[in-house]
Structure 1
Amino acid sequence: MIVNSTISHLLAGVLSLCLSACATLPVILPGANPGGFELSGRAAIRYGEQGGSTRIVWRHGSAIDDLLITGPLGQSIARIARYNEEVVLTTAEGREFRAADAEALTESVLGWRLPLAGLPDWLRGRPAAARPARVERDEQGRIRELLQDEWLVEYLAWNEALPARMNLSRDGARGRVEIRLILDQWTQAPR
């Protein structure tokens, strides 16, 4: 069984991942993968009585996700990697957990579902396609609040066309999850 401190670190790291995508406006270069990105940022996560802060680095593409979660001093906490049809969560102790999708994997290991399917779009300031969503916009037409997949996404600050700070929250059977994200760097991924 994973100790509580490892779970707290994993939670904080996953939240940090979400923070990283929105700080700098991406430039789509010739030959770039328009759906792929690399981002880094900071996250604070709270799940029930547990909480913590992390840094994240996330590489996202159509067939791959690689999310590295580190502590404030750079020590590895966990890595979540998706390659086509498999997701692997590796702890700092080297334990591996596998599942068909990130939502099921994080629910079984952490007790709550990481919304990896919706996050790439939410980090771009838009709802995920082909799923119902409720959207509230600000005076500039940017999303202020988004409710999708039982997650409430609040956009607190924008850096040009992308979010710079976001809060994500969800009430679940095992308690409330709150994620605060600050997105430091975003780049469009090459093909």
Structure 2
Amino acid sequence: MPRTKTRFLALACAALLSACVTAPTNLSKASVAAYREAIELNGRLTVNYQKDGQTETLTGKFAWNQTPAAVNVSLASPLGQTIATISVTPDSATLVQGDRAPRVARDIDTLTAQTLGWSLPVSGLRDWLQGYATGADGRRFTASPAANTVTTADGWRLTFVSWQDPDAAKPVPKRIDVARVASATVEAMEIRIVIDPQG
């Protein structure tokens, strides 16, 4: 994979996968019981984005390790070669790629802006992977097979396409499609996240 594409995949995923490291707010009692502060997930993702009028596609694997204090993500090529590691705490975001010096910034949005030249203003994938989001109206959204689509305040449209066990009391997402329409300040982007079955 060319180095420019590798960097883009790492940073696009970093912005999406590392998001905010704070606990969600406005959860109902039932949601609080279902939400987990510490999770480990593996999965795959595909990123489609526009560059010079052409659609570019990148694919990779991820390993997600979340605790109350940090999110650590390892990104790999489709063949399993590690591309980058990302660590996000309330105080900083760090990206490590191969033998390059680590890049550090105060948050993931700043890190992507410094490295890509534009920001991916996403906050919330910590919630999305568990089937939650904050809608454009500021209300807490709990995804289910019957209510599977929401648009966030920062313009991302989430569709929870399939579930690990759709009959569970609080289903866990299996596939999430994320899309953002291009505007004067942001590029169009589509991301498909597939979470591996949890053992």
Work out whether the TM-score is over 0.5: yes
Structure 2: give runs of 5+ residues left out of the alignment: 19-34, 166-170
Equivalent runs, 1:101-116 vs 2, <5 Å: 101-110=107-116, 111-113=118-120, 115=122
Higher mean alpha-carbon deviation, 9-18 vs 58-67, is at 9-18
Q: More displaced, 146-155 or 171-180?
A: 171-180
Task: Give the structure with the larger strand fraction.
Answer: 1
- State the distance in 1 between where 2:37 and 2:5 align: 34
* 1:46 match: 48
* Distance of aligned partners of 1:136 and 1:128 in 2 relative to their CA distance in 1, 3 Å threshold: closer
Give structure 1 regions of 4+ aligned residues with deviation exceeding 6 angstroms.
Answer: none
Structure 2 counterpart of 1:63:
69
Quote the Cα distance in structure 2 between the aligned partners of 1:136 and 1:81: 27
TM-score by length of 2: 0.71
Aligned counterparts of 2:195 and 2:10: Cα–Cα separation in 1: 18
3-state SS in 2 of match to 1:104: helix
Check conservation: 1:69, 1:78, Cα contact below 8 A. yes
Deviation at 1:144, TM superposition (A): 1.4
C-alpha distance in structure 1 between counterparts of 2:198 and 2:103, whole Å: 28
The structure whose RCO (Cα within 8 Å, separation 6+) is larger is 1
d(CA) in 1 for partners of 2:91 and 2:15?
Answer: 23
Q: How far 1:7 moved relative to its partner?
A: 2.5
* Aligned-CA RMSD value: 3.2
1:156 aligns with 2:134: no
**Which residue identity is paired with 1:7?**
R
Partner of 1:145: 149
* Structure 1: runs of 5 or more not aligned: 19-32
Name the residue aligned to 2:80.
74
Give the TM-score of the pair, scaled to structure 1. Answer: 0.73
**Counterpart of 2:126 in 1: which secondary structure?**
helix
What does residue 90 of structure 1 align with? 96
Aligned length: 169
How far off is 1:86 after superposition? 1.0
Query: Does the 8 A contact of 1:16 with 1:42 survive in 2?
Result: no
